[in-house]
Amino acid sequence: MSAPFEFILEWENALLSDVDRARAMLRELQQQARTYADAEKTSFDLRVMYDSDEIDVSVPQSVVDETIDRDIWPGEVRFVAAPGLEYYEQKNLGVEQSEASIIIFIDSDVIPQPGWLAALLSPLDDHSVKFVCGNTYQATDTEFDKISALFWKFDVKCEESGLDEVKAFYANNLAMRREHALKYPFPRQPTFRNQCSKLARTMLENGECIYNARDAWVSHPPVSGVSHFFQQAICQGHDSLISNRQRANGLVRANPLASAFRLVRGLVQAPTRILRRNAKLGLGGLTVLKALLLSFVYQLLLFVGEVMAFVSPKFVRKRFNV
């Protein structure tokens, strides 16, 4: 019999990041799942999705076996081959195969912080709540982590609690009722990582609420090296242009002139964002200066990615990946 709750874990990001983060994530997941299951007299299954065209099942299985004790895990652990399927497609397949009432998405490169699971699930005690997302902050373990935390897409961790209605979310940590997940799968579209934005707009247009549990946090790694930094920016620029092309007034939003406007806007907004975040992190002036310079480089690469996608989106999708 399936458990009332099921974690769906993609193994796509584990291929890009340090596998030690996947180990740390699984250890924390086991501890929080056991604590919650004991307190609420319930159980959790774990479904690990992997692209069998890229890796053998022994790859995720060995990491899981190193970190999870099957004898004390509060449910079943399954490994599901998803040949040829990428990040969002693996999540959709996991939902289709699951029989749990509540689906919990967790990525293989994020580490849940203490209290994350309880904070994420408690709003679902209200049966009118169908979808709850958590929050993501970037790890600040190294000097490069600190620099990129000042300007990259994930905000700084803050000590807040409660529930908010939001208009966007990240797919790396969220919980939803299975019928809701089946009704609103991640859409198929020609972008690398922008399906969350498209899904959020679809749900809001249909009158659905997206709730954010303010005290449910996971830690995310920074880009891993120069190559990943470059590819991440180019792919994000590609996604920005394609997403703007799909929206109202797409011809006005998706052209080199509009891309140049977004570049200027990003360059102007970067110092304010960096100083606001540094007010919370309290890093030194040299770190702030490095963040400003790296942010400007990233914005320029975003612009290049948009222009490349305007000229040939197929080329970008063929040559780059995140």
Could you give the CA distance from residue 108 to residue 17 in angstroms, rounded to a whole number?
Answer: 9
Q: Mean pLDDT by 10-residue block, N- to C-terminus, for the chain (322 residues)?
A: 89 81 96 97 97 94 95 96 95 96 96 97 96 94 91 89 95 97 95 91 96 96 86 95 90 94 96 95 94 96 97 93 80
Could you give the CA distance from residue 260 to residue 267 in angstroms, rounded to a whole number?
Answer: 11
Could you give the CA distance from residue 9 to residue 78 in angstroms, rounded to a whole number?
Answer: 10
- Encode burial over 295-320: b for 16+ CB neighbours within 10 A, e otherwise: bbebbebbbbbbbbbbeebeebbeeb
Tokens read off for 316: 């970008």
